[in-house]
Structure 1
């Protein structure tokens, strides 16, 4: 049951899962790596299919609505500005690095599916970023021993 909870948690918010796995469920180094990476990989795959379907439906809806592709000027919100800044300044490597840490896996996968769907290695970069962060989090959190501080 603990493993399933960690896998499901890692599919949504990857970074928040590690303290739960290590300190609350007292999982070993290998268990933490296996379950969080399994959850992250499942999250990327599921989010990829939902993102592609959502983008396809959105494009289909907006083109049918007016009879031709929409040419209206876009309104930029603060969130849109941040996404554009992230895309232009850091590109796909920036999205891959920030997805497990600051962004959630579904949001990072959506941005990849929207802006980098034609690049063959974009989804591989997401997976590599997730695995690297998994090692970093697990090494740091297993080396910290909060029980000895009390």
Structure 2
């Protein structure tokens, strides 16, 4: 494999860490072999989930614990009042509340399994990781279920690629 192939694999891997569902057709369009594409996308999706799951936990924890320190630092050094900005976002509740309601509605309607199944295809990997961390972090085997979901969707994509060329 030449350097262009390695760059393509890295590119597909990084894209799969963020938006899993569009990466498979993209990988085939840029000329990757089907096996290479499936492996890069699967490993990228799993790696992206682990990365964003722990990153979202760390960001929420740091921001929650250090909110006063962060706002004082920004106010002192950048002459920008974050408290006023937070109040402004809280007052504009129409769009933010609508988004929160959609998340809560999705969570209540489909629950843990719905988020697990929908994350690789409908939601993005970072959003699914954040939702699972936020609402189901205490649930056992979150990682195992998510890895199974990503592997399952890889199998679905593989079957589509195997079936479609034979039916045309």
TM-score w.r.t. structure 1 length? 0.81
1-structure distance, mates of 2:28, 2:151: 17
Match of 2:85 in 1: none
For each residue in 1:122-149, what CA deviation from the matched residue of structure 2 results, as whole angstroms up to 9, or x when unmatched? 222111111111111222134334xxx8
Where do 5+ consecutive residues of structure 2 fail to align?
1-6, 72-89
Is the Cα–Cα contact under 8 Å of residues 38 and 158 in structure 2 kept in the other structure? yes
The number of equivalent residue pairs is 139
Moved over 6 A (4+): none
Distance 2:162 2:65 in 1: 48
Please give the secondary structure, in 1, of the residue aligned with 2:62.
helix
Pick one of 21, 26, 39 that aligns with 1:20. 26
Q: Which has the higher helix share?
A: 2
SS of 2:17 mapped into structure 1: helix
- What does residue 55 of structure 1 align with? 60
Q: Taking structure 2 as the reference length, what is the TM-score of the superposition? A: 0.73
Consecutive unaligned residues in structure 1, runs of 5 or more: 66-71
Q: In the TM superposition, what are the counterparts of 1:1-150 in structure 2 within 5 Å? A: 1-28=7-34, 30-61=35-66, 75=93, 77-145=97-165
